[in-house]
């Protein structure tokens, strides 16, 4: 446990040193600030709280941004150390390979947590204090923050898998972008296309649910946009989750599986790897 | 140096390693006893680094068995033993963005070494003043010193040093060997790979000469001289003008390589050396001085290399 902590702390320090943490906080903070301020305009007389609006806009954008940040943190984590030669030295120390993976994971998740808590959380707390608006809907906002962290962890784990399988850092960067495109953009585009063409409704409720669960970014979207009643109405996708039979637990479990699976695979590949 | 126990610290038995079709290490067997300082000599690509990686468990042998500190180092099974181990890789790569102190502190924590100890090490390798600077700004020599400091964290029982003195100036080289000697006096065992034969000649207990993944010779310096059967050179100083008559009196069977007015350079095989020395002694006052020069490790090394060629 002490080993894990030492390894995680190193990643965290690296994150602070190379301004990663600061950059992520600023990006997420500005995003939260702009969307909350802009978002408060159209609420008008509708019975939607400002926080709910913030959740909708923030969640819609986080789906793109959080995976990107997570992948940028993680794609280099292993291949970079192989390429520079520091892994050889690290492995000559009394650390096991799983400790190295888990230590890095812990460190990177801590970086994401800080960025999300300070960037998203800090901004909204400051805004609430300044404007004196209500805290109605804070549960949805908290859920959005927590699930953003889980989404980030998913892509950190996926980034490791890329990082342990390729031979060069440049390849890892390319593969990470590819991963992002597939999970964040192409999957939904394809699904949307298929659903539009599917006039005879061959894709049933069940298949649709499966497809939502199969992609962690969609799980995240459904979780944040349609699980809370006020939000799902405002987001225009009322009842999607309940009709599709997707509960919060199921969605979170699917995302957790998307963390564990790549992490375990990374470890197995790393164990076999010869330096 | 220290008492040798029966259990070898490192034991390789018929170890071979191939990457695809290419064989980098082939049928290598040797033991290293506790307290020994063994030097691996060989050209680039002879398999020295691969051997060290095998002993560290960074890679697995294709066949044969490796045992280090009583366990199989392959793949994490003997990771706990790494507490007793120090490794300095060839052209060491350290975390560039961290300061020297941060790097050493990180490694010290992994090894469970106290703060005082690593601060002292920084002092020892002469990096105390540069400790706060980023490793990225270090010169080659400073990196090597930092690499050395991390290898010595926690007074390891076993040291693997891959080309440890490259990039060090002569003063530092000397200091480095003193550090190693200190560790040896404390009972450490070390395996050093080196090109700098003249440096290691006087310091190692034993040499293992490798070529293209095969051990072509091994033993102490004396054993290697005998195996190589290289001639010993004698330099005889005589009174002016007497070189010719001295040569005559030594007889026709000796091998004279150079002759001048006052000196005579002679070579002979190790077995004939004593009888030649006796005959020189019989010459009495004719001889002013006598120097006996055994072959250097360089010569022994190139002898074995060339023998393999032919």
The DSSP 8-state label assigned to residue B6 in this structure reads: S
Residue A204 half-sphere exposure, CB side, CA atoms within 13 Å? Answer: 2
pLDDT in tens, B106-122: 999 999 998 888 898 89
The model's pLDDT over B241-263, given as tens digits with 9 standing for 90+, comes to: 888 888 888 776 778 888 888 88
Q: Which value does ipTM take for this structure?
A: 0.87
Given an 8 Å threshold on Cβ–Cβ distance, is B97 in contact with A14? yes
DSSP reduced 3-state for A58: helix
Which residue ranges make up each domain of chain B? 10-226, 231-294
Interchain CB distance below 8 Å, B111 and A93:
yes
A46-97 per-position pLDDT tens digit = 445 677 777 888 888 999 999 999 999 999 999 999 999 999 999 999 999 9
Nearest CA among B110, B74, B69 for reference residue A271: B74
* Mean pLDDT within B294-310: 81
- pLDDT band of residue B198 (cuts 50, 70, 90) is confident
- pLDDT under 50: residue ranges of chain A: 45-47
Give the distance, in angstroms, between the CA of residue A144 and the centroid of all CA atoms in the same chain. 10
Residues of B in contact with A88 (CB under 8 A): 53, 58, 89, 93
Nearest to A94 among B83, B93, B98 (CB): B83
The answer to whether the Cβ–Cβ distance between A89 and B110 falls below 8 Å is no
Q: What is the pLDDT of residue B1?
A: 42
For A216, B77, B159, the CA distances from B63, given in Å and listed in that order, are 44, 18, 24
A193-222: per-residue pLDDT in tens?
Answer: 888 887 777 777 788 888 888 999 999 988
Distance from C-alpha of B233 to C-alpha of B299, rounded to nearest angstrom: 12
Q: With contact defined as beta carbons under 8 Å apart, do B34 and B5 qualify?
A: yes
- The overall longest dimension of chain B from CA atoms, in Å, is 72
Give which of A230, A208, A215, A72 is closest to A143, Cα–Cα: A230
Q: Where are the alpha helices (DSSP H) in chain B?
A: 48-56, 100-111, 115-124, 140-151, 170-185, 197-200, 221-228, 243-250, 273-282, 297-309
User: How far off is chain B from A18, nearest CA to CA, in Å?
Assistant: 8
Q: What is the pLDDT of residue B76?
A: 57
Please tell me if residue B118 touches chain A, with a CB cutoff of 8 Å.
no
Kind of pairing between the strands at B189-194 and B37-42: parallel
pLDDT tens column, B123-144 = 988 899 999 999 999 998 899 9
Taking contacts as CB-CB distances below 8 angstroms, the residues of chain A near B76 are 96-97, 271
Alpha-carbon distance of B69 to B225, in angstroms, equals 31
CA distances from residue A173 to A160, A162, A180, A195, B52 in whole angstroms, order as listed: 11, 9, 11, 32, 32
Q: Which residue, among A21, A80, A94, would best test binding to B if mutated, counting the most B CBs under 10 Å from its CB?
A: A94
| CB-CB neighbors (< 8 A) of B114 in chain A | none
Confidence of residue B201 (pLDDT cuts 50, 70, 90): confident
For residue B247, how many C-alpha atoms fall within 13 Å in the half-sphere facing its CB?
Answer: 18
Q: Do B79 and A88 touch (CB under 8 A)?
A: no
In this complex, is the C-beta atom of A268 within 8 Å of any C-beta atom belonging to chain B? no
Per the CB < 8 Å rule, is A92 touching B87? yes
Please indicate whether, in this complex, the C-beta atoms of B94 and A89 are within 8 angstroms of each other.
Answer: yes
Task: Tell me which H or E stretch contains A79.
Answer: helix A79-84
User: Taking a contact as any Cβ pair under 8 Å apart, which residues of chain B between 35 and 54 contact chain A?
Assistant: 53
Range of the domain at A30: 2-272
Report yes or no: B87 at the A interface, CB cutoff 8 Å.
Answer: yes
Within its chain, how far is the Cα of A224 from the centroid? Answer: 12
Partner residue opposite A89 with nearest CB, options B89, B97, B109: B89
Lateral strand order in the sheet of B232-238: B255-259, B263-268, B232-238, B287-293
Judging contacts by C-beta atoms under 8 Å, the chain A residues touching residue B56 are 91-92
Residue B227 tokens, joined? 């195996």
How many structural domains are present in chain A?
1
Nearest by CB to A93, from B75, B96, B110: name it. B110
Which class in CATH covers the domain with range B231-294?
Answer: alpha beta
Fold annotation for B10-226: Rossmann fold (3.40.50)
Contacting B residues, span 159-178, partner chain A, CB-CB under 8 Å: 160
Q: Which of B58, B75, B93 sits opposite A86 (nearest CB)?
A: B93
């Amino acid at each position: 446990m002490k080993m894990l902590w030492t390894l995680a702390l190193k990643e965290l320090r690296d994150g602070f040193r190379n301004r990663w943490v600061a950059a992520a906080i600023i990006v997420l903070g500005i995003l939260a600030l702009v969307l909350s301020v802009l978002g408060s305009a159209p609420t008008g007389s509708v019975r939607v709280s400002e926080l709910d609006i913030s959740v909708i806009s923030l969640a819609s954008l986080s789906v793109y941004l959080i995976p990107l940040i997570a992948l940028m943190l993680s794609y280099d984590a292993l291949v970079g150390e192989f390429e520079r030669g520091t892994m050889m030295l690290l492995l000559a120390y009394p650390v096991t390979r799983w400790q190295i993976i888990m230590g890095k994971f812990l460190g990177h998740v801590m970086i994401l947590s800080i960025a999300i808590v300070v960037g998203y959380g800090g901004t909204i707390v400051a805004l609430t204090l300044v404007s004196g608006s209500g805290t109605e809907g804070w549960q949805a906002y908290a859920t959005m923050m927590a699930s953003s962290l889980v989404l980030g962890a998913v892509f950190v784990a996926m980034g490791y898998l890329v990082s342990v399988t390729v031979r060069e850092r440049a390849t890892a960067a390319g593969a990470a972008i590819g991963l992002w495109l597939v999970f964040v953009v192409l999957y939904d585009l394809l699904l949307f296309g298929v659903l539009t063409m599917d006039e005879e409704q061959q894709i049933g409720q069940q298949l649709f649910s499966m497809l939502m669960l199969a992609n962690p970014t969609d799980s995240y979207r459904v979780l944040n946009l349609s699980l809370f009643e006020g939000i799902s109405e405002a987001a225009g996708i009322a009842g999607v989750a309940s009709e599709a039979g997707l509960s919060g637990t199921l969605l979170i479990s699917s995302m957790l599986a998307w963390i564990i699976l790549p992490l375990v695979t990374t470890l197995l590949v790393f164990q076999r790897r010869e330096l | 140096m220290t008492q040798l126990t029966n259990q070898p610290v490192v034991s390789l038995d018929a170890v071979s390693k191939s990457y695809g079709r290419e064989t980098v290490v082939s049928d290598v067997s040797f033991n290293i006893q506790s307290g020994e300082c063994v030097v691996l000599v060989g050209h680039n690509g002879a398999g020295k680094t691969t051997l060290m990686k095998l002993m560290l468990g960074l890679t697995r042998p294709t066949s044969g068995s490796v045992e280090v500190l009583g366990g199989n180092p392959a793949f994490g099974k003997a990771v706990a033993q790494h507490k007793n181990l120090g490794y300095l890789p060839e052209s060491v790569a350290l975390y560039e963005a961290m300061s020297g102190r941060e790097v050493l502190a990180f490694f010290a924590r992994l090894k469970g070494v106290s703060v005082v100890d690593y601060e002292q090490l920084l002092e020892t390798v002469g990096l105390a003043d540069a400790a706060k600077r980023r490793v990225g700004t270090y010169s080659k020599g400073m990196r090597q010193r930092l690499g050395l400091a991390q290898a010595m964290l926690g007074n390891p029982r076993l040291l693997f040093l891959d080309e440890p003195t490259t990039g060090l100036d002569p003063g530092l080289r000397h200091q480095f060997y003193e550090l190693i000697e200190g560790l040896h006096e404390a009972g450490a065992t070390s395996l050093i790979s080196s090109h700098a034969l003249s440096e290691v000649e006087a310091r190692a207990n034993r040499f293992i000469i490798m070529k293209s993944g095969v051990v072509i010779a091994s033993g102490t310096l004396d054993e290697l001289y005998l195996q190589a059967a290289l001639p010993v050179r004698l330099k005889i100083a005589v009174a002016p003008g007497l070189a010719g008559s001295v040569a005559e009196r030594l007889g026709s069977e000796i091998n004279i390589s150079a002759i001048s007015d006052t000196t005579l350079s002679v070579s002979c095989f190790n077995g004939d050396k004593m009888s030649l020395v006796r005959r020189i002694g019989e010459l009495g006052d004719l001889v002013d001085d006598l120097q006996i020069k055994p072959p250097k490790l360089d010569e022994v090394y190139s002898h074995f290399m060339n023998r393999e060629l032919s």
